[in-house]
Chain A
Amino acid sequence: MVELRTILLAEDNRKDVELTLEAMAENSLANLIFVVKDGVEALEYLRCQGKYKHRKPGNPALVLLDIKMPRMDGIEVLRNIRRDPELKRIPVVVLTSSREENDLISTYDLGVNAYVVKPVDFKQFIEAVKQIGSFWAVLNELPPERSQ
């Protein structure tokens, strides 16, 4: 049995959250998802701070990042993750609405692992979520937990 690992989903729009969870459910991956609703909360979760002070420690297998979010956007979250010795190796996949060139450049410059544009068509969206989930949460070999 393959060990299933958490995916942290940072997404501010509740409909997007619901649809992503539905898509994950279509592929039996919904129980892996932990949802935070903006960049600040994502970092609190990752650093076990604030309301996540008492969560079980450990990095998620993947951070799924929306770019446009209140308080702190996805690019800023990515920058913080890459700067943090404890978090810098976490795979990060941007899952966003737009194929904006500036966003592509800045996220790749910051070392994003993949950049996926949410397909408008829901069937394609389900397929995209399935591929992301099964690859990063199942197939991909994770980096060692402690930084060296």
Chain B
Amino acid sequence: VKNRSTSETSTLKQMADALIIANKELVYQNEEKQKRAAELIIANKELVYQNEEKQKREDELIIANKELAFQNIEKEKRAAELIAANKELESFSYSVSHDLRAPLRHINGYVDLLLTRFYDSLPDKARHYLNNIADSSRQMGTLIDDLLQFSRTGRQEKRLVDLDMNIIVFEVLVSIKLDNPERNIEWRIATLPNVCGDKAMLHLVWTNLLSNAVKFTRTREKPIIEINVLDENDAFIFSIHDNGVGFDMQYAQKLFGVFQRLHPTDEFEGTGIGLANVRQIISRHGGLTWAKAEPDKGATFYFSIPKIKED
């Protein structure tokens, strides 16, 4: 019996051991299940969060889209406004050229008629007054023409081609020499490079700068005008140096403005549009304009033209 009971006891113990193991297993599995559950809860929360984020992004996208649409509309509005402004400018310069010129022509006409038909019966004072009226109206005519040309240059489309600056400078010099046959100027001209630019516009730039140099060396006994070029990395810098009357650097800022003059008209004629044209054209080519000078010692004007095509 004792043996049996021993054997029974051992069986029971085995069973108990097995139960304990099974129990532990259960506890373990339970724990695992709880862990999974917890993980699931976390995953769920993550999903919810991600969903919310997605929704947020979607909302943000909708707002961004609306913003884009709005910006597009604004851009179209600006473009339309620009076109309208351009049209207005065009009709403005039309009026300037037509409507302002007509009364001027009348003033000139009647003054001329007075002076030719009634010259003998007019006192000297009256003739003097009439001559001044004629002079002023002529000057106004020039101002109107210059202003028109300035506004045209600004609106003109530029045609960029490969240009030999030597040729342009040569052509400009030919006409300047024709216009000033009495002048004996020493020209020192460096060999110039090719640039990418609009021929007519650059022609105007050289014409303005060179005729300025010619004009402001008029009082010199031995006028010298030098044309040079500097090869910078991304641009050519052209310079026109003269030994003319120069100007005070204090007023250099004004120089390139419309109708700005640094010398009285009685001494040096001109309306003051030339350098404004130069600046406008050069900046449309992506370049810069500047000048250095000293009163009575001459002036140097610079302009740069980028080597790479602008547009």
Contact = CB atoms under 8 A, between A and B. Distances in A.
A68 interface: yes
A16 B101 contact: no
Interface string B100-142: 0110111011111100000000000000000000000110010
B108 A122 contact: yes
Contact of B105 (A22, A68, A100, A118): A118
B113 A125 contact: no
A15 interface: yes
A121 interface: yes
B102 A13 contact: yes
Contact of B97 (A16, A22, A98): A98
Interface residues of A, number: 18
A30 to B, nearest CB: 14
A98 B101 contact: yes
Determine chain A's interface SS by DSSP, over half rule: loop
A99 B94 CA distance: 9
Contacts, number: 52
A19 interface: yes
B47 to A, nearest CB: 69
A121 B138 CA distance: 7
B98 interface: yes
Report which residue of B99, B113, B138 has the largest number of chain A beta carbons within 10 angstroms of its beta carbon: B113
A122 B134 CA distance: 10
A97 B102 contact: yes
B159 to A, nearest CB: 16
Interface residue range, chain B: 10 to 19
A53 B204 CA distance: 55
B190 to A, nearest CB: 37
Contacts of A96: 98
A124 to B, nearest CB: 10
B94 A100 contact: yes
A68 B98 contact: yes
A120 interface: yes
A120 B98 contact: no
Nearest to B141: A120
A51 interface: no
Contact of B106 (A15, A119, A121, A123): A15
A99 B113 contact: no
A119 B106 CA distance: 11
B185 to A, nearest CB: 30
A119 B145 CA distance: 12
A125 B105 CA distance: 9
Contacts of A99: 97
A41 to B, nearest CB: 20
Contact of B94 (A13, A22, A98, A118): A98
Given A120-B104, A120-B141, A121-B138, A98 B98 contact: yes
Given A97-B97, A98-B94, A100-B97, A22 B109 contact: yes
Contacts of A118: 105
Given A98-B94, A120-B108, A121-B108, A22 B101 contact: no
B261 to A, nearest CB: 22
B108 A97 contact: no
B113 A22 contact: yes
Interface string A17-44: 0010010000000000000000000000
Nearest to A67: B98
Interface of B: 94, 97-99, 101-102, 104-106, 108-113, 137-138, 141
Interface of A: 13, 15-16, 19, 22, 68, 96-100, 118-123, 125
13 contacts: A13-B102, A15-B109, A19-B105, A19-B106, A97-B98, A98-B94, A120-B137, A120-B138, A120-B141, A121-B138, A121-B141, A122-B109, A125-B105
Given A19-B113, A122-B112, 16 more contacts: A16-B102, A19-B105, A19-B106, A22-B109, A22-B113, A68-B98, A96-B98, A97-B97, A97-B105, A99-B97, A120-B138, A121-B108, A121-B138, A122-B108, A122-B109, A122-B111
